[in-house]
Structure 1
Amino acid sequence: AKEAVTEAERCDPTNIFTQFHIFKIAILEDNSDKALQAITTLENLLTDEKPEDNNLLTDRGSPTLLLSLAAQFALENGQHIVAGKALEYLAQHSDDPQQVLTALKCLFRLVLPKVSQMPESENKKKEMDRLVTCLNIALLKLAQPFDGETSTLDARSNEAHWFRKMAWNLAVQSNKDPVTMREFFILSYKLSQFCTSNQVILIMQKTCLLMAAAVDLEQGRKASTTFEQTNLLNRALEQIHKCKNIWNLLKQTGDFSNDPCETLLLLYEFEVKAKMNDPSLDSFLESVWELPHLESKTLETIASLAVEIPAHYPSIARKALKRALLLHKKKESIDVLKYSKCMHKLINLSVPDGASSADLCPLEEVWGYFEDALSLIRHTEGYPEMEILWLMTKSWNTGIFMYSRSKYVSAEKWCGLALHFLDHLGSLKRSYEIQMNVLYSELMEALDKNKGSLSVKSDNY
């Protein structure tokens, strides 16, 4: 048997059957490489052949019949890799949707156990891409009419269930490759649209779209160009809107009060709108602020996203943090650690280090934040000492900033506030007490003479 087929030999219809004979011999000889070469050559001949030049192949089913026989023969002889390739070709070229779906199911049963055990590698990536292609073929065939089925809708739904589960399982297995994982989740969602809708399907669809949006957002954060980021964020927004519709349907089927879906959708949509400078952001937030069950953690996340590049909405961040602090204070047992971190973020946004006077919030408002923190420190145990030190340093340097602007009354007021925080330091008080009192005395002298420039430095902030 020849190892290659020339262009002249391609016109000889017997050559196809010669190749099929070579394929069978290779299988019987347990020569998988030769069998793979023969099945590939056979596929090329079958798909390149023109019916008018070959009376033996006037029946359009003849090529797929040979591929089907090849797959069956390889399976019977334990050549699973070769059988998988024959099934793959069969699925690509058959016009019968049911035959394609059957071939693909057989292919998945052959390939999945092997792929599941493969370490992360380029070969595994190729196999996953191959399965993505196969699922796309299944999706295409599910959209076509099923001939000869007495219950077409049930049959289609059953087939779709099988493939959407495969796509789901592959997505879960692809957790180390987010882009591929997203592909499988989207395929699982699309395949589920051919299934009879119920609560289980709606939950699955909701999860698929949430996961896909999360991947797009993560990829958008790492995008190297604005164009790429915009495309990823727009794609995420599309999944978010679809998921919202499904979530609204799902809530009608039962109690989902413990499901974080609504919060995630809110945060995802806010991130997209903030990073794309969407003009509808303000109207979107109006509805967000009115939500009755917003948690402090959600508000703090909104604050972080509002100033995450390329977003720059410090006013939104401050508003979210102020609401979060109110929620912290309303709790029966206040979490001092969480409160202190939230207060730190709010003050840092309101009085950024190295900011000009134009960048500062009204200091009357900021003064209120410091007083709230000091009140909590006075009446509650456990406020982190490093946070007290930071508040002391921040208030002192704000006073020095006022002094540099010739606002002497404010300077004395803010530096005096720093001494109140000094009183509540624990083990660090001794390290800073002498320094602070000396600096305060010098400040008072400088205020009298309207000169001097003093600042306190902390090794930790």
Structure 2
Amino acid sequence: MTSILLVLYEVEARVRLADGQAEEALERALTLPHAEPKLFETIAALAVESPSNNRSLSIRALKVAIKKHMSADCADLEKCSKCFHSLIQLTLNGSSASDAESLEEASVYFIDAINLVEQNVRFGMRKTQFTTVSPQESYPEMQVLWLMTKAWNNGVGLYRYRGYYTSAGGLKEALKWVELAMRFLKHLGPTLRQNYSPKMQQVKEEMLIKMNSQAE
């Protein structure tokens, strides 16, 4: 406990001083035996405090927290989903449809998240045959909705962005995001699916028609 507190104090002090060596504290945290995900979640939160706003440190810490959650005997998906939320938010913060690098990085986290959601559904189907699934063992629907909306906005943003609209490569990238959003859509409740599905399917078909016309 003392070692953990010392690491947190060091991170906080270095962040407040806008010290460029703050990542050294994270390296020390990684060497601590039996460090819990909460430690790295706290480091991630401290890292983006003013005046430092160290996004790279926060992103690294969140990735460690997610890994810790997933390596636990019983992963707390509720907390893990919040880490994914923060990670994606940080990656996309301030980005635009033309920011290919941020979108590419974010796509990795979206895919990790949807794989986790789909894996969780398969696990839940098996488990409910024997016992009740707790909230911590389920990926929260509101987080799934948030991921779907973010992925959808990325896809539509690329589709509408003038530099991509007339580009076959741009349309393909936009379609990738739209299809990713539709993977999340499948894991929403019936009412939400009915609300979003028609419009999403319509836009996807519009994009496919546009791509086919460019290929001719």
Which TM-score tier does this pair reach, normalised by the shorter chain?
A: 0.7 to 0.9
Question: Residue 75 of structure 2 aligns to which amino acid in structure 1?
Answer: I
Aligned to 2:134: none
C-alpha distance in 1, partners of 2:157/2:31?
38
Q: Would the alpha carbon gap of residues 331 and 411 (structure 1) be closer, same or farther in structure 2, given more than 3 Å must change?
A: same
For 1:400-411, what aligned pairs fall within 5 Å after superposition? 400-403=156-159, 404=161, 405-406=163-164, 407-411=170-174
Q: What is the Cα deviation at residue 389 of structure 1?
A: 0.9
**Residue 393 (str. 1) matches residue 149 (str. 2):** yes
Bigger Rg, structure 1 or 2: 1
Contact 2:95-2:102 at 8 Å conserved across structures: no
Q: Tell me the TM-score normalized by structure 2.
A: 0.78
Q: What percent of counterpart residues are identical?
A: 40
Measure the CA separation in 2 of the matches of 1:328 and 1:317.
Answer: 16
| Contact 1:388–1:424 (8 Å) recurs in 2 | yes
Pairwise CA RMSD of aligned residues?
Answer: 2.2
Q: 1:350·1:360 contact (CA, 8 Å) conserved in 2?
A: no
1:309 aligned to 2:65?
no
Q: CA deviation at 1:359?
A: 8.9
1:379 Cα deviation after fit = 2.3
Find out whether 1:436 has 2:200 as its counterpart.
yes
Shift in CA distance, 358/439, structure 1 to aligned 2, threshold 3 Å: closer
Q: Which amino acid aligns with 2:157?
A: F
**SS in structure 1 of the partner of residue 102 of structure 2:** coil
SS at match of 1:334: coil
Where does the alignment leave 5 or more consecutive residues of structure 1 unmatched? 1-259, 451-461
Aligned partner of 1:372 among 112, 118, 121: 112
Which residue identity lines up with residue 420 of structure 1 in the other structure? R
Instruction: Give the aligned length.
Output: 189
Query: Contact 1:305/1:311 (CA < 8 Å) preserved in 2?
Result: no
Closer, same or farther: CA 282–376 of 1 in aligned 2, 3 Å = closer
Change over 3 Å in CA distance of 1:358–1:423 after alignment to 2: closer
Q: Tell me the secondary structure at the aligned position of residue 355 of structure 1.
A: coil
The CA deviation string for residues 280-320 of structure 1, in whole angstroms up to 9 with x for no partner, is: 32333332333233211110111111111222111111100
C-alpha deviation, 1:325, in angstroms: 0.6
Q: CA deviation at 1:338?
A: 0.9
Which runs of structure 2 are paired with 1:55-94 in the superposition (5 Å)? Answer: none
Residue type matched to 1:422 in 2? Answer: L
SS at match of 2:18: coil
Q: CA offsets per residue over residues 213-264 of structure 1, 9 Å max, x none?
A: xxxxxxxxxxxxxxxxxxxxxxxxxxxxxxxxxxxxxxxxxxxxxxx33222
